Amino acid sequence: MIFCAFRADAMFVRKDCKDRIVINSDDSGVLVLVVHFYLMLNISKLRKSSDLRIIVFGISGSGVSSTGNTILGYHTFKTGTAFSAVTTSCTIETTKRLDKRLTIVDTPGFPVGMDENRLDETFHNLRHAVKMLEPGPNIFLLVVSVERFTEDHNFMVRCLQQLQDISKFTIVAFNRVDCLQEAKSTTMKHINNSETLGELLQLSSRRFVLFDNTTTDEMQVKTLFEMANDLIRKNHNSILTEGTFSGNAINQVNAVVNKRQEEWKNAMNVYGAKPSLLQRICRMCNIL
């Protein structure tokens, strides 16, 4: 670029009446400035592309905010157990971590139970998270407890499968490994061989890490960063856009929601007439 600019016999970038760029030879100082700004812009672009910009997401209550805190190395996102979700809006935090400029957006999680009406809100939050992480997130970290994989998880995976490109950016963080008795290597083997986790792992192209949010051990964060670096390189620094969580994607997610409601309705038709075990116990005990 510098070579070309000097060869072009000059200096100042302006447009002539034919709208071509004309360079005059008498403003060498300005050219130096132009080249300088050009390089600065590109260095800053390069630096931004190697930054880690992560959306943390998962089933509400599964440890989304705690995982964000562990990655940051300090507690900033609100965590805890409550009857309702602790995180109710997106929160952003930036820091320098293990020689990386790291920015994380903590999100309200995927709604549990039959609360499909809240899905609109969930996708609104995800679009907001993308905007907050300007120029855009390069990692979508899906937090899943290693202890259990429920119908809610299945439903979440089915919804996320509808989002174009999401699997290009997804890494699964299995947390609560401290709650297991087995060694990490055994857990990894179980995960890799699990049929139940098949679709989830397909969503992340089998990329996953193990997390224990009760420890400050940096090794798990290093492992995640290495995986993230490889992924960012593989994706040629591309980013998730708001489009992933809007437009046609929403229609497809709604189709999944409708299908699920249909399945539940059918199940009710089959079993609804018969009293549930709980109803029978209540009747026997004269509670109702």
Ligand X SMILES: Nc1nc2c(ncn2[C@@H]2O[C@H](COP(=O)(O)OP(=O)(O)OP(=O)(O)O)[C@@H](O)[C@H]2O)c(=O)[nH]1
Contacted by 63, from ligand X, Mg ion, none: CB < 5 to 8 Å by type: ligand X
Contacted by 111, from ligand X, Mg ion, none: CB < 5 to 8 Å by type: none
CB 31 to Mg ion: min, Å: 52
Contacted by 137, from Mg ion, ligand X, none: CB < 5 to 8 Å by type: none
CB 176 to ligand X: min, Å: 4
**Local structure of 145: helix, strand or coil:** strand
Cis check: omega of the bond before 275, within 30 degrees of 0:
no
Whether 71 contacts 22, CB under 8 Å: no
Contacted by 214, from ligand X, Mg ion, none: CB < 5 to 8 Å by type: ligand X
Contacting ligand X (CB under 6 A), which of 55, 57, 63, 142? Answer: 63
- Helix axis angle for 119-132 and 248-271, nearest 10°, is 150
Pairwise CA distance, residues 276 & 273, whole Å: 9
**Local structure of 209: helix, strand or coil:** strand
Contacting ligand X (CB under 6 A), which of 11, 52, 57, 60? Answer: 60
Decide if residue 89 touches ligand X (CB under 6 A). Answer: no
Residue in the block written with tokens 């989304």:
64
Contacting ligand X (CB under 6 A), which of 5, 34, 35, 86? Answer: 86
Residue 21 has phi, psi (to 5 degrees) of -80, 130
Contacting ligand X (CB under 6 A), which of 139, 212, 220, 224? Answer: 212
Contacted by 212, from ligand X, Mg ion, none: CB < 5 to 8 Å by type: ligand X
The terminus-to-terminus CA distance of the chain in angstroms comes to 82
Looking at residue 186, its amino acid is T
Phi-psi region of 176 (alpha: psi -120 to 50; beta: other; left: phi over 0): left
Residues 229 to 248 in contact with ligand X, rule: CB under 6 A: none
Whose Cβ is closer to Mg ion: residue 106's or residue 191's?
106
Decide if residue 179 touches ligand X (CB under 6 A). Answer: yes
Whose Cβ is closer to ligand X: residue 64's or residue 203's?
64
Site string for ligand X, 94-133 (x = CB under 6 A): ---------------x------------------------
Whether 116 contacts 257, CB under 8 Å: yes
Contacted by 244, from ligand X, Mg ion, none: CB < 5 to 8 Å by type: none
Quote the tokens at residue 144: 């899943």
Pairwise CA distance, residues 210 & 187, whole Å: 9
Q: What is the DSSP letter of 146?
A: S
* Contact footprint for ligand X (CB under 6 A): 58, 60-66, 79-81, 85-87, 109, 175-176, 178-179, 211-214
